[in-house]
Amino acid sequence: MLSSVLRSRRAILVNVATMRAFARARRALQDYANLAKRLRALKRRSDVRFKAVCDAIHVMMAPPPRPRRRIGFGPPSVS
């Protein structure tokens, strides 16, 4: 915010670089959204085997579940 108020050459360059970074981030998110939309459309009109592959990809993309920690002083649980 300060770089947009100041009038020095460095402040102008920082402001331009910041705007370009936000524009690149917006394009990247838009590309990801377009890719997800196309994948959903392809999944809808595809056969069972491709659906299984898509489901496996989505499972692999999901973060792993965090193990639950026991509360108290009992013996440690066996996993």
Predicted local confidence at residue 74, as pLDDT: 66
Predicted local confidence at residue 11, as pLDDT: 86
Predicted local confidence at residue 5, as pLDDT: 77
Does residue 43 contact residue 54 with C-beta atoms inside 8 Å? yes
pTM of the entire predicted model: 0.44
Distances, alpha carbon 17 to alpha carbons 8, 26, 37, in Å: 14, 14, 30
Predicted local confidence at residue 78, as pLDDT: 60
| Cβ-Cβ contacts under 8 Å for 5 (sequence gap 6 or more) | 11
Tens of each residue's pLDDT in the chain, 79 residues: 666 677 888 888 888 899 999 999 988 888 888 888 888 887 777 776 777 888 888 888 877 788 877 777 766 666 5
